[in-house]
Amino acid sequence: MEITELRIDQHGHLQNAADWSPEVADIFAQKDGLILTEKHLEIIMAVRDIYQETGDTPPMRLLIKVLRLRLHDDIDSRYLYRLFPDGPVRYASKYAGLPKPKHCM
């Protein structure tokens, strides 16, 4: 699959979340110079679940709180920035096939 086959918005996010797959996440990440690992996918899948439950991706502090409860206690902002250096909330959402979070610039 090519990124040109996907409908994306002006921010580079999928327009239709149903088009998402782990392969799409890899394509987006590679385009941004990032290779996804199991740790990335763990966060991406959790962000997808949170979005499905709430209809939004929470801001960083709330996201960390939820991820600590759902995944593991050692998640903090440094951990997320190591995985997503250009912005954990924005890029985890992008790679999860979700719209750009309202609170992200």
C-alpha gyration radius of the chain: 13
What is the average pLDDT value for the chain, to the nearest integer?
90
DSSP per position, 26-62: HHHHHHTT----HHHHHHHHHHHHHHHHHSSPPPHHH
Token digits of residue 23: 């392969």
* CATH assignment of the domain containing 19: 1.10.10.370
From 6, 27, 41, 104, active-site residue: 104
For 67, the domain range is 3-95
Q: Say which residue, 2 or 65, is predicted with more confidence.
A: 65
- 26 in a structural domain: yes
- 81 in a structural domain: yes
Q: What is the mean pLDDT of residues 85-95?
A: 95
Give the 3-state secondary structure of residue 14.
Answer: strand
pLDDT band with cut points at 50, 70 and 90 for residue 20: very high
Q: Is 104 a catalytic residue?
A: yes
Which pLDDT does position 105 carry in this prediction? Answer: 59
Residue 23 has pLDDT above 90, yes or no: yes
pLDDT band with cut points at 50, 70 and 90 for residue 3: low
Q: Is 98 exposed, middle or buried (0-12, 13-18, 19+ CB in 10 A)?
A: buried
- 22 in a structural domain: yes
Residue type for position 29: A
**Whether the predicted model's global pTM rises above the 0.75 cut:** yes
Tally the domains of the chain.
1
Q: What is the mean pLDDT of residues 67-89?
A: 95
Residue type for position 1: M
- 104 in a structural domain: no
Q: How many other CB atoms are there within 10 angstroms of residue 102's CB atom?
A: 8
- 102 in a structural domain: no
Token digits of residue 63: 């996201």
Residue 102 has pLDDT above 80, yes or no: no
